[in-house]
A and B are shown apart, each in its own frame.
Chain A
């Protein structure tokens, strides 16, 4: 693995990409000059085959979603770069996606909520969707609680809310709902 080019700002990044034809582009979102997401879009436009990996300080899910929407194939936070960068580069080069667990989840939720269409998910909060996914995937309350750093009692509360909001009776129905609305994929 060799670094063939470096850029300090967005425009330079696009230019250098054109010039150096790398196999993988690792781009930061916060760059001076052109907005990072715009850079990703441009690169993807010019070179659809080139996988773009986002390496950024921003850890918020919203960034992930936007990045993926813009065309990135992977999203690594700088904090976890040490552990995950190389692996991620290899993965995206292989054609896959490299996202953290929560990033994938966020993305899935975003997809499920759809583009503008009114879905029953509109009435659910992010947390509630997360718990729903967890339950639909068959995870135990403890597992779900751990992954979101909340207590099992809270999970129970969320579950109760879910059942009430969606007018469902048990976990099986929750699972069916989750599948029907694309929160989990078979």
Chain B
């Protein structure tokens, strides 16, 4: 806003100063023009003055010469026709040579006796002009010059008179006069001068002027007495002499009654006291003299300049406005952004607060034990559960290490685990044993590194869950499972044995006897013999059935000859039954315990059953090896496989069973399969079947 005002003010000031300057310039120009005009007038006046002076006095010598001519004197002395005619001729001559108005001779009474205009209409020969001052003076012996309006001719002129003497020393007998019209000097007045020039008598009567309308008027208001007096002199005619309406004030300015101002220059006429030559110059006209061209030339320039300036001011203003607007917008945007930021920041604070509260609650109520230790193993935080279990408060525990809370070997273990997380820079999950009031608990600890802003590991955080009960339960389950499987096997073994050994034996004995009977009856009773033969077959069938049942329950080979022979037998039998080519390889397998052998055998059994049930394989490779105390059993088929990440329900249970058996003897079971790429079941178990699982 301010900028705009400043701009406007500046523009106005500039404009104002330019105007003032212009005005001052104009004024000074006017003044100088006036001065110029004055000087001009002065110069002009001087010239006029000189002309006028010379004009007024030019005929003095001439009139003297005229007066000295004998013809003049003689004609006056002897007014005979001859002398008169000669005088007239002389007067004519003089008039012609001088280009004057008239030359005439007057006698001592003042009567015109001879004149060059005696033959003209306005001849005044015989008239008496003794009232004329020029005669009065001349008749006294003084030549004079007199300006007046001709009575008869009505022509204004300059009368130059000279006394005529009869002889030397005599008083004048007459006067000779040369009249020169004033029009000549008026010519002079008309010289290139733009004002008004006038020749005025002491009364103010305008005798000569370059303005015709001003002639015979008066510079000032004449009173009646003056006018009457002036009329009687007959110098300027009868009158009246109208006032031209000019008020001559002090200084050099005169104003007429219309208010117009005139520059006035007054000059005395030499030898004519009271007569003035007055130069008048219309002030307005002077002004116009300068203002005219000024306006013409500079006017256009100023207009253009004004226009340009106006335009540039306009543009600057617009720019400034634009800048102002932009700045305003930027400020607006900034304010908006700041508000946004504030809002955002408040929102963040709120969220942080909320999150902190949430996390705080979680930490307070979780049954898990949560703790944070720094790089040196000192506690920086523990949650409520920790406080409860180990009877410490988070403020107290800060700065302490595990050694300050737990027995040495436990503490060392914890610290070792912590260190591992720190060096590996990755989380880990381990079981930790922790001594508590009611004995040693087992915890599943998830420990992970905490990073600071620079991305370096600053601390270790641990979340530990008490799995003592779970472990107990699991161990119980395992034991249960183990015992179930064991008793299952025992039962099967018992039943198998009974079937095989007891029932089998009986059947075998029966067969022997029926065979013997058959032989016996061959000759004596062929029919009975045949019958007995049928009996034998039946018994054979029964034996087969019993044997089959027994071996399915538990093959004797497993118990009598060991794992290798058992699998060897099973794979042969498998091939016979299923037509799937089954290759069994074994190497370095020692005698293993019953538990291990049973588990391995059952796993192989299950695996091969799955092969025939699901895989549509054409070949199975079974391998049993022992190396460095580790027994490995591998069953690999070239069947259609399955996605081992997705174990379907139908397979699932069988697999669980296999895994369980493996775990119970301290081993691991791995099943790898991909669709179209066959299946591989891989068992790894310590040869002595350690019971590690049941810690």
Contacts and interface: CB of A to CB of B under 8 A. Distances in A.
Contact of B576 (A35, A82, A116, A127): A127
Given A81-B512, A125-B571, A63 B560 contact: yes
A149 B515 CA distance: 25
B500 interface: yes
A19 interface: no
A6 interface: no
A128 B619 CA distance: 12
B583 interface: yes
Interface stretch (A52-60, A169-177, A178-186): A52-60
B576 to A, nearest CB: 7
Interface in B535-575: 540, 543, 547, 555-557, 560-561, 565-566, 568-569, 571-572, 575
A126 to B, nearest CB: 4
Given A30-B556, A125-B584, A127-B581, A62 B576 contact: no
B501 interface: yes
B62 interface: no
Contacts of B281: none
Q: How large is the interface on B (under 10, 10 to 19, 20 to 34, 35 or more residues)?
A: 20 to 34
A29 interface: yes
Given A57-B501, A60-B569, A82 B582 contact: no
A81 B539 CA distance: 14
B604 to A, nearest CB: 15
Given A125-B571, A125-B582, A154-B579, A63 B561 contact: yes
Interface string A150-178: 10001001100100000000000000000
A161 B565 CA distance: 25
B504 interface: yes
A148 B576 contact: yes
A62 B585 contact: no
Interface in A88-134: 116, 122-128
Interface size class of A (residues with CB under 8 A): 20 to 34
Contacts of A36: 560
Contact of A60 (B505, B511, B557, B584): B557
A161 B617 CA distance: 14
Given A59-B547, A82-B511, A82-B515, A126 B565 contact: no
Nearest to A157: B579
Contacts of A125: 571-572, 575, 581-584
A66 interface: yes
A13 to B, nearest CB: 16
A79 interface: yes
Contacts of A29: 560
B583 A124 contact: yes
SS class, residues of chain A in contact with chain B: helix
A83 B518 CA distance: 11
Given A82-B516, A125-B583, A66 B561 contact: yes
A61 interface: yes
Contacts of A123: 583
Contacts of B504: 57
A29 B555 CA distance: 15
A11 interface: no
A41 interface: no
Contact of B543 (A30, A79, A116, A150): A79
Contact of A62 (B508, B557, B579): B557
Sorted nearest first, the 9 A-B pairs with minimum C-beta distance are A82-B515, A62-B565, A78-B508, A127-B575, A126-B572, A125-B583, A82-B512, A125-B582, A125-B581
A82 B507 CA distance: 13
B647 to A, nearest CB: 29
Contact of A83 (B515, B565, B576): B515
A30 B568 contact: no
Contact of A79 (B508, B587, B619): B508
A62 B505 contact: no
B583 A62 contact: no
A73 B488 CA distance: 38
B556 A161 contact: no
A144 B575 CA distance: 15
A40 to B, nearest CB: 13
